[in-house]
Amino acid sequence: MKVPCVESKLCVFLFKIQFNTQLSEFKNSLNTINNACDRVQKSVKMKDILRRILYLENTLNQGTIGDKNYKIEYCIL
């Protein structure tokens, strides 16, 4: 007995079997990333670090030559 296109049919069957598991794993990974992003956004220490970096950058940019002295403000972030 010969089945036409057996290889492609098996690949489709395998895909159907594995799809829900892979989707569940992907959702778990995405939730982990979202939780990490939330923690970074709510971090008081991260905000303090960004403020210090911006202060330093703005201080260094004050002495530049030219018409445009750009100052980055924390509220932009």
Residues 48, 52: Cα–Cα separation, whole Å: 6
Q: Where are the domains of the chain?
A: 1-42, 43-77
| pLDDT confidence of residue 65 | 63
C-alpha closest to that of 73 among 53, 54, 49: 54
Q: Where are the alpha helices (DSSP H) in 1-77?
A: 6-42, 44-61
pLDDT per position as a tens digit, 21-31: 999 999 999 99
Which tokens is 59 given? 């201080």
Phi-psi region of 5 (alpha: psi -120 to 50; beta: other; left: phi over 0): left
Least confident of 12-21, 22-31, 41-50, 63-72: 63-72
Residue 3 structure tokens: 């089945």
What value does the mean pLDDT take over residues 45-68?
Answer: 79
User: What pLDDT score does 61 carry?
Assistant: 73
